[in-house]
């Protein structure tokens, strides 16, 4: 039983477009929601994270939108670039950022030039 569900599994976007990846969680006790980016042959790297006391967080071209009542959060990549092509994972954790993470299934993003 997956506590964090991620969609879509794969996504193709044209260069300059907006990439949107969605996640839904079940456990209302989760209080830390990071997104990780993984390139082939590399481990996941933290991209951006949010706590449920804010509805949006933006870092450069990357934005997390958070809807606490719907138990959903999403990653928006504005002006998507070929270099953004990677696998993206959402995750959730209890109590603190260093605690065990529950991951979504991942989204493989391809940005076409």
Whether residue 35 contacts residue 91, with contact meaning beta carbons closer than 8 Å, is answered with: yes
DSSP-derived secondary structure letter, 71 = T
By the rule CB under 8 A, 40 interacts with other proteins: no
Q: Which stretch binds other proteins (CB under 8 A): 11-19, 34-42, 58-66, 69-77?
A: 34-42
Among 64, 73, 84, 104, binds other proteins (CB under 8 A): 104
Give the residue among 105, 96, 111, 112 at the shortest CA–CA distance from 8.
105
Which residues between 44 and 103 bind other proteins (CB under 8 A)? 44-46, 49, 89, 91, 96-98, 100-103
Whether residue 72 contacts residue 91, with contact meaning beta carbons closer than 8 Å, is answered with: no
By the rule CB under 8 A, 6 interacts with other proteins: yes
- Tell the smallest beta-carbon distance from residue 104 to other proteins (Å): 5
- Any residues with CB less than 8 A from the CB of 46 and at least 6 apart, and which? 34, 35, 36
Binding footprint of other proteins on the chain (CB under 8 A): 2, 4, 6, 9, 34, 36, 41-46, 49, 89, 91, 96-98, 100-106
């Amino acid at each position: 039983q997956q506590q964090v569900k991620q969609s879509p599994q794969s996504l193709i976007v044209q260069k300059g477009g907006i990439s949107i990846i969605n996640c839904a969680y079940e456990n209302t006790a989760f209080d830390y929601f990071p997104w990780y980016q993984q390139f082939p042959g590399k481990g996941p790297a933290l991209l951006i994270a949010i706590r449920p006391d804010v509805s949006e967080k933006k870092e450069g071209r990357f934005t997390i939108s958070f809807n606490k009542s719907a138990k959903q959060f999403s990653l928006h990549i504005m002006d998507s670039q070929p270099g953004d092509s990677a696998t993206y994972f959402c995750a959730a954790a209890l109590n603190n950022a260093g605690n065990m993470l529950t991951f979504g299934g991942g989204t493989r993003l391809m940005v076409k030039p």
